């Protein structure tokens, strides 16, 4: 779902989903529903699916269908995902397999479903969650994108690292139930159900707004798809058959996402989709325009141009005119923006004002937005 817009950078406005508030939670203080992997329940049936996932970087239609749903309450963000392992429109039977069983393994070495959340939209301290068809999970925090010298914080890399457990609850359901890792049993799809604790999603995001009616977060989903074949022992093994790789049939994985990234790179949080929280009854709200979008894109345009300038000249510059030849194709420097760049000992602070918002970004992609009219409304939905 995308609102009708005609503002700067409207051509790259990402996908947007309205997450409706969940029914009242039970008295035990746990999630509002039993997390068992089954999405055929009123909690999920009354809210819409996302659009079908697309290839992360190309216009090729994924071979298999994937889509998701979301809801929220005062304690959890709920995610339900349906992973069809049959050819779109044909229900041709295929394979559900997984190998990893240890929590906080690198789950994307199996086929997996991934959730990326940036609660405050700063591109820093964002969260990632991965789960495979066996229900094995990995949760991590990225202090900043890898391209900005960021690193993983999780219990995979240190004993006291970030983890969403024990509050997190997740489950997987395979159809039919006994079909996983069984080439001899025809199967069609598997579903994932997740209750992600809000306290962990906003951890180390001091400016993040708690979910409420009209609040925006940034989010994306990814499906990692490896090809498999049956070996001589009747077991699954990986087989080169990448659909969208530069060399079709390559040994790499396919990456299918909800909101297109434009390149094979999930760790570009500025390109993720938009999550709009609503307290209305399911189906009664409309997508609201994310008012910060033009100023955010203008700031990102400066980040990419300054990065390219530094790579060419070995230094940053305050000269906006000199930057224009380094302007990024996806995020061109907008002529209508009010722009200023201040050099610092470590890099720079670049500001761009478009419409009623000012976005400030530094050399590590750390981005904050304030309203020219009222800083308190930053991050809240506004009617077009």
Which of 278, 306, 334 is a domain's end point? Answer: 278
Nearest-angstrom CA–CA distance, 23 and 75: 12
pLDDT of residue 58: 96
pLDDT of residue 198: 98
Q: Is residue 111 part of a domain?
A: yes
pLDDT of residue 214: 98
pLDDT tens for each residue of 310-352: 999 999 999 999 999 999 999 999 999 999 999 999 999 999 9
CB 85 within 8 A of CB 96: yes
Give me the chain's average pLDDT, please: 92
pLDDT tens for each residue of 91-131: 344 789 999 999 999 999 999 999 999 999 999 999 999 99
Q: Is residue 212 part of a domain?
A: yes
Whether residue 239 sits in one domain with residue 121: yes
Whether residue 110 sits in one domain with residue 209: yes
CATH of the domain at 238: 2.60.40.1190
pLDDT of residue 272: 99
Q: What mean pLDDT comes out for the span 249-258?
A: 93
Whether residue 272 sits in one domain with residue 167: yes
What percent of the chain has a predicted confidence (pLDDT) above 70? 92
Q: Is residue 285 part of a domain?
A: no
Which of 216, 247, 278 is a domain's end point? Answer: 278
Whether residue 197 sits in one domain with residue 144: yes
- For residue 78, CA distances in Å to 37, 91, 196 come to 12, 28, 6
Whether residue 326 sits in one domain with residue 193: no
Q: What mean pLDDT comes out for the span 236-264?
A: 92
Per-residue pLDDT band for 366 (boundaries 50, 70, 90) equals very high
Whether residue 264 sits in one domain with residue 299: no
Total domains, the chain:
2
Whether residue 112 sits in one domain with residue 227: yes
Give the count of beta carbons closer than 10 Å to the beta carbon of residue 65: 19
Whether residue 303 sits in one domain with residue 161: no
What percent of the chain has a predicted confidence (pLDDT) above 90? 83
Q: Is pLDDT of 64 > 60?
A: yes
Whether residue 134 sits in one domain with residue 270: yes
Per-residue pLDDT band for 135 (boundaries 50, 70, 90) equals very high
Which of 243, 278, 313 is a domain's end point? Answer: 278
Q: What mean pLDDT comes out for the span 225-250?
A: 90
Q: Is pLDDT of 5 > 60?
A: no
pLDDT of residue 328: 95
Per-residue pLDDT band for 186 (boundaries 50, 70, 90) equals confident
Domain containing residue 67: 10-278
Q: Is residue 4 part of a domain?
A: no
Q: What mean pLDDT comes out for the span 189-215?
A: 97
CB 167 within 8 A of CB 197: yes
Per-residue pLDDT band for 247 (boundaries 50, 70, 90) equals confident
Whether residue 359 sits in one domain with residue 314: yes
Q: Is residue 383 part of a domain?
A: no
The CB-side HSE value for 207 (13 A sphere, CA atoms) comes to 19
Q: Is residue 73 part of a domain?
A: yes
Whether residue 143 sits in one domain with residue 23: yes
Q: Is residue 284 part of a domain?
A: no
Q: What mean pLDDT comes out for the span 291-303?
A: 98
Across the strands, what pairs with 371? 357
pLDDT of residue 25: 72
pLDDT of residue 249: 85
Q: What mean pLDDT comes out for the span 161-188?
A: 93
Q: Which is higher by pLDDT, 378 or 305?
A: 305
Whether residue 231 sits in one domain with residue 344: no
* Ordered DSSP codes for 243-272: SSSSSTT-SSPEEEESS--SSS-S--GGGS
pLDDT tens for each residue of 14-63: 999 999 999 987 666 678 899 999 999 999 999 999 999 999 999 999 99
Per-residue pLDDT band for 246 (boundaries 50, 70, 90) equals confident
Would you say the pTM of this structure is higher than 0.85? yes
* Ordered DSSP codes for 121-150: SSSSSEEEEEEETT--EEEEEESS-GGGT-
pLDDT of residue 92: 43
Q: Is pLDDT of 377 > 60?
A: no
Q: Is residue 327 part of a domain?
A: yes
Q: What mean pLDDT comes out for the span 218-233?
A: 94
Q: Is pLDDT of 71 > 80?
A: yes
- For residue 142, CA distances in Å to 111, 127, 259, 316 come to 22, 6, 20, 25
Q: What mean pLDDT comes out for the span 208-234?
A: 96
């Amino acid at each position: 779902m995308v609102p009708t817009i005609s503002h700067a950078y409207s051509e790259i406005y990402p996908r947007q989903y309205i997450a409706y508030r969940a029914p009242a939670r039970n008295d035990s203080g746990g999630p509002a529903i039993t997390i068992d992997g089954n999405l055929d329940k009123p909690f999920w049936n009354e809210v819409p699916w996302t659009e079908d996932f697309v290839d992360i970087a190309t216009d090729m239609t994924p071979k298999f269908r994937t889509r998701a749903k979301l809801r929220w309450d005062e304690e959890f963000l709920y995610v339900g995902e349906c992973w069809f392992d049959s050819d779109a429109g044909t229900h041709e039977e295929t394979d559900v397999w997984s190998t990893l069983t240890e929590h906080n393994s690198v789950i994307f070495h199996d086929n997996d479903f991934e959730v990326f959340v940036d609660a405050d939209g700063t591109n820093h301290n964002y969260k990632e969650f991965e789960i495979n068809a066996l229900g094995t999970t990995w949760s991590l925090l990225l202090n900043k994108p890898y391209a900005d010298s960021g690193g993983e914080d999780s219990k995979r890399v240190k004993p006291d690292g970030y983890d969403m457990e024990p509050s997190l609850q997740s489950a997987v359901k395979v159809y039919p139930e006994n079909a996983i890792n069984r080439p001899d049993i025809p199967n069609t799809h598997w579903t994932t159900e997740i209750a992600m604790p809000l306290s962990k999603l906003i951890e180390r995001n001091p400016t993040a707004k708690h979910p409420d009616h009209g609040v925006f977060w940034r989010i994306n989903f990814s499906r990692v798809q490896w090809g498999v074949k049956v070996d001589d022992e009747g077991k699954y093994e990986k087989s080169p058959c990448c659909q969208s790789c530069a060399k079709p049939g390559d040994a790499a994985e396919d990456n299918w996402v909800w909101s297109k990234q434009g390149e094979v790179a999930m760790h570009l949080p500025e390109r993720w989709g938009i999550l709009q929280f609503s307290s209305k009854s399911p189906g009664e709200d409309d997508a609201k325009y994310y008012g910060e979008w033009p100023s955010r894109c203008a700031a990102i345009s400066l980040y990419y141009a300054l990065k390219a300038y530094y790579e060419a000249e070995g230094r940053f510059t305050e000269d906006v005119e000199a930057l224009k030849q380094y302007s990024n194709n996806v995020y061109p420097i907008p002529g209508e923006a009010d722009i200023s760049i201040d050099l610092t000992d470590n890099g720079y602070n670049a500001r761009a004002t478009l419409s009623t918002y000012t976005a400030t970004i530094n050399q590590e992609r750390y981005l904050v937005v304030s309203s020219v009219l009222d800083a308190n409304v930053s991050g809240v939905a506004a009617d077009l």
